[in-house]
Amino acid sequence: MHLNELKVLHVSELLKQAEALEIDNASRMRKQELMFALIKKRAKAGEQVFADGVLEILPDGFGFLRNPDTSYTASTDDIYISPSQVRRFNLHTGDMIEGEVRIPKDGE
């Protein structure tokens, strides 16, 4: 599954998917919460989740994948890229990246 597939869906379609996956309190969730719950449930079931974006590296060495839907500005949909990943792959601000994402661990 690709994150962009969920972003284009209407909330009603996300709700149908959430109900099919038996996600609790889905009817009370906002679109972003529904998308995260769906991704989390699918990832826990072993399904791969992919996303893409343009990398912005911050002064502390970590970065975020920004999206054209938000004019490349910071948003809650941004995907965190650790400093070790930035160094390992010699990444730079402006790089277009696509890859598999993982669900944040508790406390992240």
pLDDT, tens digit (0-9, with 9 covering 90-100), for 64-96: 999 988 889 998 889 999 999 999 999 999 999
Domain ranges of the chain: 3-44, 49-101
Nearest to 3 by CA among 56, 42, 29, 55: 42
Would you state the structure tokens that stand for residue 21, as one six-digit string? 């996956």
Task: Provide CATH code, domain 49-101.
Answer: 2.40.50.140
In the chain, % helix, strand, coil (3-state, to 5) comes to 40, 20, 40
Token match 């999206």: residue? 67
pTM score > 0.85 for this model? no
Helix (H, G, I), strand (E, B) or coil at 54: strand
pLDDT, tens digit (0-9, with 9 covering 90-100), for 13-56: 999 999 999 999 999 999 989 998 999 999 889 999 999 999 99
Phi and psi for 82 in degrees, rounded to 5?
A: -70, 155
Would you state the structure tokens that stand for residue 103, as one six-digit string? 């669900």
